[in-house]
Each structure stands twice: as C-alpha cells, then as structure tokens.
Structure 1
Amino acid sequence: MTISSLSARRFTISRLTKEVNLAFSQAGVLARGISGYKPRPQQLQMAQAVAETLDRPAGKLVLEAGTGVGKTFGYLIPALLSGKQVIVSTGSKNLQEQLFYKDIPALLAMLDIAPKIALLKGRNNYLCQLRLQQQLDSAQSLDSQTLDDLLRLQQWAAASSDGDLGMIATVSEQSPALALVASTRESCIGKRCQFYEQCFTRKARLKTLDAKIIVINHHLFFADWVLKDTGFAELLPKADMLVFDEAHQLPDIAVSYFGQQLSLAAMDRLLARIEEVYLNELRDTVQLGELARRCMSRLADWAQACLQSGQNDWRLLLADKVLAGRSWQLLEEFQALQRLLLAHVGRSEALDDCFEKWLEYLAKLQLFLECDNPSAAYSLELSGRLPMLRMAPIDVTQECQQLFNGDCRWVFTSATLQVNRELRHFAKALGLTDCCEMILDSPFDYQRQALFCVPRQLADVRSDSDYQLQRLLSICLQTIEAAKGRTFILFTSHRMLERVALALRGRCHYPLLVQGSAGKQSLLKKFRQLGNAVLLGTGSFWEGVDVRGHLLSCVIIDKLPFVSPDDNLYRARAAELHRRGGDPFNDISLPQAVIALKQGFGRLIRDEHDRGVLILCDNRIVNRAYGSAFLNSLPPMARTRDINKALAFLQKIK
C-alpha cells in the first residue's frame, strides 16, 4: 500500500489519534515541555501513521523519515499513549541507551505517565557472577592490572542493580577483564549455577515480561527468534507492536542470523574450560587434559594455515586438497575428544555441560567442511586471533515472511530506506508484502543549507592511477583549508584511506584523526573537542555518527560505495540472480550503493541550522545512466561541478 492509497483511506479518528494530534499541537505537551518547539507536519504525519497501525489488529508500516523529521518522538508518543506493549529495536547500543536514559524519560515527564519500561541488551553486555568468581579463584595466573580490574568489577557488581558492563566507570572499556567476566552462552549452566537467583542476565529478561516499552537492538531481536538463547527459553514477550528504528540495517543482520556461524575462538574457550574441569575436578583422567591441550594446539595451527592461505572464500579454500585434508583430520581429533567426554558423562556437571556444547560445535564444523548448500555463501572472516566461519543464505525472504507475520503490528523506519523514491527494494529484501509505505522528506532547507559538488577533471575511480590519487589529494587539501578543518573524508576501502592518510601527513595543517589509530568513540570525542580536525574513516563512520553545528562543515567521499564484486555473498547472489534471469547490478549493487551514499551524506546536515558541502570525487554519478538513481534519492541540494563554488560556500560558514 503506497502513501497515496494510505491517505485515501477514510479512518475514523480514534482516541489514540486524537491524543497524538493534541500532543504535537502548538498547545500540546511538547510545546509546553520543549523550549522553542515548532510543530513539524512530517512528524505529525508519522505519529498519525504509527497510531493508525496500533489501532489495527495487525499490519506493517514501512516509513522513511528524512533527517530532521524527528522520527524518535514520531513513534514513541503514540506507543506510550496507546498503553500497549511495544518493543523498540535499534541498530546500535548508542541509540538504545539514548532512548532508554534520555528520550523516553523526557517524554514520560511531559506526558505525566509512568508505565514500566525496560532495557534489554545481548547476553555479553552483562556481568556473569560465576565467571567473575572463577577468575578470582585462579588469580595467580593473572597479571596485576587485570587482577586490579577484576577486584573493581567485584566491588561494582555488589552495588550494581543491573550488571550492565557498559555502565562501569572504574574499568577501561579496553580492559581484558571485561571479556573474562561477560556472560556467554558456552559458560552458562542455567539453574545449576550458584548465582542463578542473582544472575544479572536473568533479571534483565524478567523485567521485560510486564514492561510496556522494551528497548532492545536488532541483533538481540534475531537472536531471540532464531537461537531462542538456550538456558533461558525465549527472551522477549509477545508484544502488541514492534518498531525497528535504523531499519535499513535489518536485511544484512537477517542474513547473518538465518545463516550459520562458528567461532573458532569460542571453540578454543570451551577447550580451555574442559582443561579447567580436568585440573579442578578430574585429575585422575590425565588423558582428558592432554587431549584438550592437543586439540587447542591443533586448532590454532589449522586456523593459522587457513589465514595464511590469503583466501576468505571458504569454498575456494577447501579446494586446496592439502588444507582440506588437514581440516578433516582436525575434525577426527575433535571427535576423539567427543568420545572421551562421552565416557565420563555423569562424573561432573561442568563436564556434562561442556560435552553438550562440544557436540553443537562439531555438528557446525562438519557442516562447514561438507560445504554443500548451493544457496549459500561460505566465508572465513578475521575475528581477533582466531577467525570466524560464516555461512550466509543468498535469500532470506521466506524466513522473514514467517517472522514478520502473525497478529502483530510492525513498523520499519529509517532516514535511508528509499531508492529512486521507492521503498520496493527494502520491502522485497525482507519479504514484506501488503504493507503501508510512506516517504516523509526532511523539513530542512537543503537548497540553502547544503551544496553538492562533483568536481570536474576527475580520474576514472576504477583506474587506481597516480593521477586519481593526486587529484583526490588536491581536492582534500583545498577543501580542508577552506573549511578550516571541520571535515570528514569517507572511503570505500581501507587501502585508499591509508594512501590518503599517508599523503596528507605533513601537508595538512589541521589535526588528522585516522580510523584505526583509536576507537571510534574516542576519535569522535577528539573531533568534537578540537573543533578544527579532519577525520578519515571507512564503513563504520558512514552511519550512526552525529556531529552537529559548525564542527562539521564538509564531507568528502572518494567514490560511489558499490559492493566489491569479489564479496562472497554478492557473488553468490549475483550467480543465483543470473540463473533466474535477473540483473545483479540493478537489483543488488545499485540499491545498496544508493542507501550507503545517503548514509554518508547524512553525517553532514543534522539540524536546521547546519550548513555544509558534500563533495563526491566520482563522476560516474553525472556521466552514467544509473547516476539518476543516486541523485533522485539524495535530498534536493544545490549542485555544482565547480570546486571553487564549493570552496567559496565553505569559506562563508562561520
């Protein structure tokens, strides 16, 4: 159902819609509670659409709300006024915490209501009291700094009401102690645990059962559906409505959860735990300790051999007969440990638990070694010291159709869902049918606030020539000078980021902050503090970054963010689409690139007072037919190909 057909329907104005209209009016609670409040027609339209969705017994609403619409209040106010149980899922922990600790409490105060609200994060965000006790019991093997951090964690846990590790201020977020005490599936023993009643993870889940508003994240939502997180049954109650903020992330997250993954690091941790059981409980079974250590050593050697192959396509990696042979030998070694564990079942509850989890890991490893699903892409991904094996399905529409059905209401919203003024690509990716669709444009005056520049005399971005690098550097240096720093330079590859970062050092007179030199939040904090910095980043800086005002005046993007043709999942999807007679470029590459470019631009204009310039160093947007899809999807900015006009615009920004 499109926006026009939605508008054409004659709804009887319900109690909820009347209350929503009043809340957003010039005399409503927002006007009384927010200094300088001005009603925004787009925000009211969104809130009305969410209210109408809540008034129906079931349904789906797909809604793009451009930057500045105020989508957070647009869905929260009808949710709070409805009295129904609503789950709000976000794409990031930052937004999750902003909703729970800032936005919802502010609205509750303005609305003068007090429904119960709950925040639920993934398991590994909570301290596990059992793991903390185990680490302190083996303190002699720890370095002094880690032991100090563990003692601080123990002191904090005694006073904490929720055990949320993100809330501890006395231990660095980089401390290895946090990973040692975080709750994990493989270490959880459920009701047999001596800390079961005090368990922070269990208590967090219990709080959600009767809460009216439950704030989660997308990963937790899919984990609840797909994994059911054994040990605690289902995580989430059956709510009246689910709202997905930052919904553009859902298709990629769905692929990861409807596929399979095997963490070699988790296998290594489980082997270490088996060795601990031997040392602490079963010293009469020497073979158990020896075999666990041998399996750890073989696993590390095999993982190193896989990484040294330089191949991340798992199918191609297994085509190496020597490596494939070593892989099956490793499985045989692991199966020998399985038989030994079976022989000692019943002697130790901890070992019994290890045995069950080891069976699960071996079944997954065999699945990856057989590698026989033609409708999936298999890959080996870097993940710390030991890699991760992933199997991603080419198409998840059937699974999503099963998930997003039933007697529930679903709202999918983001600032970046439409491609070429259509929401079809997003809806198709999630198998959404019979849904209401709305596009609410930003209220910002982009013609006045922003300028979009595609400079002339650009090299072919696919050539990787010295001229291309020098032209990009020239544009960056001129722009940084005109903007007095205050610039993001966003890249589609780490290689180009490194080349430009190296070339700018010594030639740029403003502070340079380069992704990888520190954590993301640390770099953003420095960027805001310095006031004249230049930040160079790739993927993670294209979205979820909010720098308002004069601190950010320019965003430079090196080229259109098309997916690499060597990406395993893309190649598998493209091959399948070819077999069906489809067009991989128009159906996969182009829509994904449009959404990514919109995300990159979204860093620039964050409120009605912001002004700035977007510079794209890729002339394909103006000389290729598909460029119109990008231009039609971006906000209606003034445009130029004259870099001098862009520089003049920047120089006027105070």
Structure 2
Amino acid sequence: MTQSVIHEFSERGALAKHVHNYHNRQTQTDMAVAVSDAIAKKHNLILEAGTGVGKTFAYLIPALLSGKQVVVSTGSKNLQEQLFLKDLPALLTMLDIHVPVALLKGRNNYLCHLRLEKQMQMASQLSEYYIDDLLKINQWAHLSKDGDIGNLTSVAEHSDVIPSVVSTKETCTGKKCDHYYVCFTRKARIRAMEAKVVVVNHHLFFADRLLKDTGFAELLPDPDVVIFDEAHLVPDICINYFGSHISSREIDLLLNGIIKIHKEVIRDSIQLEQLSQRGLLALSDWHNAMYDSQVSDWRKVLANKHLATVSWALQQALTDLSNSMRHHLGRDDQLDLAFEQLYELSQKLQDYFECKDIQAAYSVELGPRFIMLRLSPINVAKQCQQLFDADTRWIFTSATLQVNRSLAHFATELGLSSAQQIILDSPFDYPNQAVFCVPRHLGKVGQSQHTVKQLVDVCVQAINAAQGRTFILFTSHQMLEQVASALQGKVAYPLLVQGQASKQSLLNKFRQLGNAVLLGTSSFWEGVDVRGKLLSCVIIDKLPFVSPDDALYKARAANAERQGLDPFSHISLPQAVISLKQGVGRLIRDEKDRGVLILCDNRIVNRAYGQAFINSLPPMQRTRDLDRALQFLKQIP
C-alpha cells in the first residue's frame, strides 16, 4: 500500500495527471507515507504538518487506498463539507476508484418528519410569517434526498421554525415512529455504516462515542481508522465531553414544559403547575443573584452565604417537583419523559453544588440571557486512553501541535505518549515571504490608555503601509472595542469589526472589498483562509495566555503544584504557544503570499520563555524596527 501511495504523489501518479502545474512536495509524500504506515502497521500517529504541506490529500489518499473503514473527523462543518463535496469526489475521480463515502452530521442537522407533521397540524395557531417558513420547509421535505437542513435555501438559517422541525434525541420515538423507514437521520446512519470513508466533525464524534447522544444507539460505525484533522482542538473538546454542564435555559424550558403538560394532559393536579412556578421563581432569584455577583468560580459561589442559599433553594424546588411528579408516572409518556429529565437534572445540580471532585474545575459562564454551570476534568489522559482503544488506528494531524519543537505536550494531554510523533515543516520560503516584527519601545501590555494609544499608533501605520488588507487579532473583546473605537476616523480603509455581522459575512466582505481591515478575537485566530494580496498584514495585540482567574486553569495549576510541577511551563505556556501559532497561521497561506506579522508584546523578546514561542513559529525574518516592517509592506503590490 505504501508503494501505491508514493506512486500517486510522484510525477507519474494521479495528482500529476489531473492537477494543473502539479509538482511533488516531499513533505506531502512524507506525510502520506507516515499515514499509510500507521494504517498498515497498526500504530497511532501524531503529526504536525505546517501550512502548505497539503495534509488533506496526504491523509485522504492512504485512507482511500487502504480498503479499511475510515472515519475522518474535522474541527468545523466548513472543512467537513469541503472534504465531502470537493476533495473526496476529486480524488475518487483522479484515482479512478469507487469507494463509498458518507457525510454525517449531528442529528439536529436533519429534518424530522414527525416534528414537521406536528407543526403542520398546529398551523392554525401559528403566526403568518411562521406559517410561510413552515410551508416552504414542508415543500422542501418532499424534494430533499438527505433532509440536511444545511441545504435548505428557501428559509433563513436563523428562522424560528427550524429548531421545531429538526431531529432531537428527546422527541425521537425510534421504531415506534410512523416515519421510521423514511427517517433522514436513520438513512444517514445506514449510509455511514455502509461507507468506507465517513466524514464527521469532532463534536459529533465525541457525542456519539462518549454520550451515545445521537439516538439509534451509536450513529457512527466502529471503524478501523480514525483521522482527526484540526487535531489541536481535540484536547479541549475531550475536556468538554468528559465533563458535564447545566444550563439555566435547560431548566427554564423543562419547567415550562411541565406546566404545559399539566394544562393539556394532567389537569387534575394543580400541584404540578404550582411547584413548577415555584421552581421558575427560584430559578429567577438564582439567576439575578448570580448576575449581580459576576462570579466565574463555583467555589467562590459556595463561599458567599446569599449565593449558596439561593442555589440550594433552586435545587430543593426541583427536588420537590420531582417528588410530586413521581405520583403521576405511567399516566402520560410526555410526563414520564419530563420526570426522567427533571430527576437527572436535579441530581446533576446537587452533585455540582456539592463540589466534591478535587480533580475537576467548577466554572460559571454568564451568557447574554442564560447561565452555564460547567464541570471540567483537569486531566483527561486516563479517559482518553480508554476511548482510543487498541483495535483502531488513531491519527492526529494539524498545522499547530508542537511546542518548542516537541509534540510531547499534545501526546501527554491525550494519554498517547506511545504514539509515533512526526513534525513536518511548511515548504513555504518564510525568510523571504514574511517579516515578523516586535516593535521597540512598547510599554507593558495591559488595558491602560497608554497601551491602547501605542497599539492604535502601530495599527494606523501598518494599515496605511498595507493599504488596508490587515487582520488585527485580539485576546480580549474589551481591547478590540477600545481599538475599534479609536481607529474610527484615523484610517481611510473600511473597518470590519467582529459582532457587526456573522463571521462568514465579515470574511466575505473582507474578500470583496480588497482593502479592508478586520478586527476580531479568538474565532478569527483559526479556520480562516484568505490567500494572496487580499491579506498582507496580521497584527496581534499580545501573547494569548489564559487568564489566571480561569476556573479550569486554576484547578489544573493546583493539580500541577501538587505533583511538584510548574503550572506556567506545563500548562499556561504550551496553550499560549499553540494559540499564537494559530493566529500567525492566518498570514502566509500559499507559496506566493507575502506579508508582515506584528506582535505588540515585547515579552516574547524580553522574557526567557519567549524563546519557546520563537522556536515554535515559522522561520520568518525578525526585526524590532517597525519602519523596516512597514517598508516590506509597502513593497507588496
């Protein structure tokens, strides 16, 4: 198999015959061989492939030629669809092979015939605009082959109707459903079971593998090989799925649902509604108290007498309602399901409030209109060792996995120390294509007016030198807002600011305008691909260290100290290096790109740990002279 893979990447292979101006990249062939060997010799592989290696084809060709059942998991739906709709069809044609492939999404991406039918039956009670969208969806349902809501173009993606007609675990009746044999989710699973290559995203993979949360038992097949692209995201996703969370929105919906069941079905028990209303009142009191306190660490909540009192009052209200519902079990399927959900939620809430697990972080996230309680394990290596079983070959790849020229940090996080580890550098000519500037005379990083003024001054000079065509990436929304406000009227180029529109809309505008400046935080640090002359400059406000007040970081730091380890070098520094590499990766996207990276944080040159960042970044020209960097920008046509 390895020889076949090498042949397809050679000057006589399929790529040379079908790809215009194809030339063999040794690093791409090296990666393909490493993936092929991992599949054939049954070992796990962790591989960083720098930008430009061509890693997608380097793992897809061995996957297609192996004859094994392979699951390819990506970090985003965009990449998932690119693989399935573009890359895989192209390779199947080039290789002249017929391998069944399937695209599988989470069940809430598929239309549910039963829920649509129920909505249509309620049409007379619905608003006119809602009915318009419902009728369009109903018409589309009869034409669609896969029921994928992503292919629904006649209705806005944020339509209120869509959440009411997509498949959910809670409303799925399985084989009892009248629509079982035409069910889109069931058909998607069948296609996945029959396919040799199945394309999913990380969240679906872990939801299915760990929570069995997709209905119809496991949705995914039991594959021979799993390839994680954008694998740098996997550790955080594992923490999310090995942990648990409770949303105030979840509690609110459940309580209101029980009130509805009382009014429509169990009308002879007013106590159900009274206790549900008492629960809603307790939820409101708790909600208000939590927002007033602005506490992010749950252990601090417990230390506050008032917050602890309203928290336990909420849990008691849910327990009282659960005990009352127990007397009505068996009278109605909806009530029985609501009882199970309430009982489970009440137990989770009690476990969370008791805060007993010293190996976990208990954090509070205050959303726009809801509160999320999150329990996150501080070390998932042991769970991962059980998850990544020996019967499957596990392959992890990304452009950003190494820290200080080592993959040990990533391997240790996932309990994969025995996996083969390979770093393949980008084939791009970074010394000639890019300049990395840390301007002299920068003050101490922070939120002071002087810091903002310095940053704005650098941004104005760089934007003018680049004639727009700039990304400014921030580590905080607060700094983004201050700089965005200060730049108004100081530059003559269009400013696109995160929050003004969706991420995709802002990127489309950036590409269309050709001279724009885009200001964004974490979501723009990765998964963004702007090639050529449209993007010439990336400015980063400071090194992306996690906040020392972050609940998960504090719990991990305390655990590291108990083991005699330094939390900064073992946790904070590696995370910051990988995050910075993601932001830097926006600049040079192909072999013809040229550009300047400006980092407005002199700690990278003034502190000893700065060398770990520099060693992990591409080998760009380095300078402290901002004028030299500006001159390079001005020479980019």
Return the TM-score normalized by structure 1.
Answer: 0.94
Report if the CA contact (8 A) 2:80-2:199 is conserved. Answer: yes
The answer as to 2:537 corresponding to 1:571 is no
- Aligned partner of 1:328 in structure 2 is 312
- Matched with 2:254 is 270
Question: Which position in structure 2 is the counterpart of 1:588?
Answer: 571
1:61 and 1:415 mapped to 2: Cα distance?
14
Equivalent positions of 1:274-353 (< 5 A) are: 274-353=258-337
Q: Which residue of 1 aligns with 2:129?
A: 145
Corresponding residue of 2:393: 409
Partners of 1:342 and 1:578 in 2: how far apart? 47
Instruction: Name the SS for the 2:423 alignment partner.
Output: strand
Equivalent residue letter for 1:154: N
- Taking the aligned partners of 1:234 and 1:316, their CA distance within structure 2 comes to 39
Residue 37, structure 1, aligned to residue 22, structure 2: yes
Point out the more displaced range, 287-296 or 550-559. Answer: 287-296
Q: Is the 8 A contact 1:490 1:541 kept in 2?
A: yes
Task: Report SS of the residue matched to 2:102.
Answer: strand
Matching residue of 1:427: 411
Partner of 1:3: none
Deviation at 1:380, TM superposition (A): 1.5
Aligned equivalents of 1:370, 1:602: Cα separation in 2 = 43
Is the CA contact 1:547–1:603 (under 8 Å) kept in the aligned structure 2? yes
Once the two structures are overlaid, the 10-residue window that deviates more, 559-568 or 166-175, is 166-175
- How far apart, in 1, do the equivalents of 2:246 and 2:386 lie? 25
CA offsets 1:180-239 (integer angstroms, 9 cap, x no match):
333333333333333333332222122211210011111111112221127421222111
CA shift for structure 1 position 179:
2.5
**TM-score where L is the length of structure 2:** 0.97
- Contact 1:76–1:104 (Cα < 8 Å) also in 2: yes
SS of match in other structure, 1:209: helix
> In the TM superposition, what are the counterparts of 1:120-519 in structure 2 within 5 Å?
120-139=104-123, 142-229=126-213, 231-462=215-446, 464-519=447-502
Distance 1:164 1:475 in 2: 46
> Does the aligned pair in 1 maintain the 2:207–2:214 contact within 8 Å?
no
Structure-2 residue corresponding to 1:4: none
Letter in 2 for 1:652: Q
Contact 2:107 2:214 in 1 (8 A): no
CA distance in 2, matches of 1:325, 1:448: 63
Structure 1 Cα separation of the partners of residues 321 and 173 of structure 2: 21
On the 8 A contact 2:282/2:310 being kept in 1, the answer is no
Q: Which amino acid aligns with 2:13?
A: G
Offset of residue 129 of structure 1: 2.8
Question: What is the identity, as a one-letter code, of the residue corresponding to 2:29?
Answer: L
Please show how residues 537-616 of structure 1 align to structure 2 within 5 Å: 537-616=520-599
Amino acid at match of 2:45: L
- Change in Cα spacing, 1:142 to 1:536, as seen in structure 2 (3 Å) is farther
Range moving further from structure 2, 137-146 or 418-427: 137-146
Amino acid at match of 2:388: F
1:451-476 CA distances to partner (integer Å, 9 max, x unpaired)? 111111101104x3322111111110
Cα distance in 1, alignment partners of residues 351 and 131 from structure 2: 40
Equivalent pair of 1:21/1:48 in contact (CA under 8 Å): yes
The alignment status of 1:85 with 2:60, answered yes or no, reads no
Pick the aligned partner of 2:60 from 73, 76, 82. Answer: 76
Q: Are 1:19 and 2:29 matched, yes or no?
A: no
Alpha-carbon RMSD across the aligned residues, in angstroms, is 1.6
CA distance in 2, matches of 1:580, 1:373: 17
- AA partner of residue 333 (structure 1): A
- 1:297 CA displacement: 4.2
Structure 2 spans left out of the alignment, 5+ residues: none
CA distances 1:35-68 after superposition (whole Å, capped 9, x unpaired): 1111110000010111111111x31111000000
Contact kept, 8 Å, 2:290 with 2:307, in 1: the verdict is yes
Task: Measure the CA separation in 1 of the matches of 2:128 and 2:501.
Answer: 24
Report Cα offsets for 1:226-266 as digits up to 9, x if no partner: 21127421222111100000001111111111111112222
Partner residue, 1:12: none
Contact 2:106/2:214, CA 8 A, preserved across alignment: no
Q: Distance in 1 between matches of 2:39 and 2:214?
A: 32
Contact 2:437 2:626 in 1 (8 A): yes
Counterpart residue type for residue 564 of structure 2: G
Shift of 1:384: 4.7
Structure 1 segments unaligned to the other structure (5+ residues): 1-15
Could you tell me how far apart the structure 1 residues matched to 2:117 and 2:282 are? Answer: 30
- Counterpart of 2:38 in structure 1 is 53
Query: Compared with structure 1, are the counterparts of its residues 278 and 200 closer, same or farther at alpha carbon in structure 2 (3 Å cutoff)?
Result: farther
Which amino acid in 1 is paired with 2:596? V
